């Protein structure tokens, strides 16, 4: 065994021991309850104790520097930690509790923030105590984000913000917002944008949830009427917000490369198929066509998983966020949406339930997750936008879109 592998195995033992001592067994099987944007379920008792322990250890954000509340682990150590958590049914609720804080805002503050900004904003995110949302899209600035019209005017010791954002995930339950705003109207549309951070709990901020087809409402319309941002919370340079904003989106895509299961509760599709479709006399699924397509999906999912592992290994445990995240984001989208489609097909008529005693929770959750998952190819940069990034930044094909 190499020295590197020996160190990883030593860490595995340490992680296993810590998890055994700190993860409450009462939470096994409760991941779906706490790994959700629905805050109707309070974080108390064993759940609160678990969140607190993770935050104090820094393993809620395992790869962040320890001085900002993280665990200081390498990417490979973080992967080992994830494996050990999965093995005992443990879960990490802090990325969900922090909204966009762990996956997007935090990594961007680590790169562009001042020391004061890092000290003030990162530890509360790492402990899951402060929830963040992002003000990007607007009614007339979606894929063409550089056309945004929300303005921030310099008022001496603060910025005054006026405008509207849309599809603001978790805006109604967030304490802080990071937003792209126009700070100079006399230059090219990508050159007059800045990234501001400001508290949501102020008179100048209003939110209105948008009800979605799946029934949940994680998205909001957000209105700014003379809202305030402190001068010390300009992230990056003035009028260079386009660079900051693009980097944040790379972190978002990186966070969406896991191909997380949608529908069927994340269990084995093979077992689900045995339950709903049944086996023939040879012990194979009765539906031969479904059997072939299920096998193809499982190969796609394994290929995606191995690619993620290879990227981590080739980066020597310190994975860099690059345009390659666009490839993995599209691959994850394909895997997750294909799983959701197969789940409903396997369930047959039981996979069409919306409510009522005729359907169990697994079946109702499957159809709602299938509907929610349709957005995966849109949010974080649409499937088509990612293909444009791949063609220009990876394949080196010529620019075909209009520049701002």
Q: Is 252 a catalytic residue?
A: yes
Dig out the tokens for 253 from the structure.
């895509």
Q: How many CA atoms lie within 13 A of 376 on its CB side?
A: 27
Sequence-ordered list of residues with C-beta below 8 angstroms from that of 121, at least 6 positions apart, any chain: 105, 106, 109, 113, 130, 176, 197
Residues 177/197, Cβ–Cβ less than 8 Å: yes
Catalytic residue among 77, 84, 138, 252: 252
Sequence-ordered list of residues with C-beta below 8 angstroms from that of 47, at least 6 positions apart, any chain: 24, 27, 30, 34, 93
Dig out the tokens for 370 from the structure.
């299938």
Grouping H, G, I as helix, E, B as strand and the rest as coil, residue 281 is: coil
* C-alpha dist (Å) from residue 82 to 46, 193, 248, 272: 20, 38, 24, 25
Residue with token string 């296993």: 16
Instruction: In whole angstroms, give the CA distance from residue 36 to residue 34.
Output: 5
Instruction: In whole angstroms, give the CA distance from residue 258 to residue 301.
Output: 10
Residues 342/293, Cβ–Cβ less than 8 Å: yes
Instruction: In whole angstroms, give the CA distance from residue 88 to residue 84.
Output: 7
Torsion of CA 58, 59, 63, 67, to 10 degrees: 0
Residues 125/98, Cβ–Cβ less than 8 Å: yes
CB crowding 198-212: b at 16 or more within 10 Å, else e: bbbeeeebbbebeee
Q: Show the CA angle centred on residue 90, arms to residues 364 and 72, nearest 5°.
A: 130
Helix (H) or strand (E) holding 228: strand 219-230
Catalytic positions: 252
């Amino acid at each position: 065994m190499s020295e590197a592998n020996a160190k990883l195995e030593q860490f595995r033992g340490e992680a296993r021991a810590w998890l055994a001592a700190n993860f409450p067994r009462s939470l096994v099987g409760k991941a779906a309850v706490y790994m959700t944007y629905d805050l109707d379920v309070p974080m108390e008792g064993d759940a609160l104790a678990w969140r607190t322990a993770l935050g104090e250890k820094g393993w809620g954000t395992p790869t962040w520097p320890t001085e900002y509340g993280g665990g200081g682990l390498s990417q490979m150590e973080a992967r080992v930690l994830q494996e050990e958590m999965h093995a005992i049914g443990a879960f990490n609720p802090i990325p969900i509790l922090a909204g966009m804080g762990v996956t997007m805002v935090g990594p961007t503050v680590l790169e562009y923030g001042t020391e004061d900004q890092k000290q003030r904003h990162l530890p509360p995110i790492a402990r899951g105590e402060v929830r963040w949302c992002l003000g990007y899209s607007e009614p007339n600035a979606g894929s063409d984000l550089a056309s945004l019209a929300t303005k921030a005017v310099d008022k001496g010791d603060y910025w005054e913000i006026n405008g509207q954002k849309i599809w603001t995930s978790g805006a109604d339950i967030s304490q802080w917002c990071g937003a792209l705003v126009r700070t100079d109207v006399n230059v090219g549309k990508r050159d007059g944008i800045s990234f501001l951070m400001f508290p949501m709990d102020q008179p100048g901020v209003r939110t209105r949830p948008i009800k979605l087809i799946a029934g949940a409402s994680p998205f909001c319309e957000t209105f700014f009427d003379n809202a305030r941002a402190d001068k010390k919370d300009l992230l990056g340079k003035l009028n260079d917000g386009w660079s900051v904003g693009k980097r944040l989106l790379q972190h978002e895509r990186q966070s969406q490369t896991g191909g997380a299961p949608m529908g069927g509760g994340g269990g084995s599709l093979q077992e689900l198929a045995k339950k709903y479709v049944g086996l023939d006399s040879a012990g194979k699924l009765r539906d031969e066509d479904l059997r072939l397509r299920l096998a193809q999906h499982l190969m796609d999912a394994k290929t995606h998983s191995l690619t993620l592992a290879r990227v981590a290994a080739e980066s020597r445990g310190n994975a860099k966020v690059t345009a390659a995240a666009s490839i993995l984001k599209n691959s994850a989208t394909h895997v997750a949406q294909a799983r959701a489609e197969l789940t409903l097909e396997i369930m047959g008529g039981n996979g069409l339930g919306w409510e009522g005693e005729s359907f169990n929770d697994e079946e109702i959750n499957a159809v709602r997750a299938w509907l929610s998952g349709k957005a995966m190819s849109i949010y974080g940069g649409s499937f088509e936008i990612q293909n444009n990034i791949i063609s220009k930044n990876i394949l080196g094909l010529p620019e075909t879109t209009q520049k701002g």
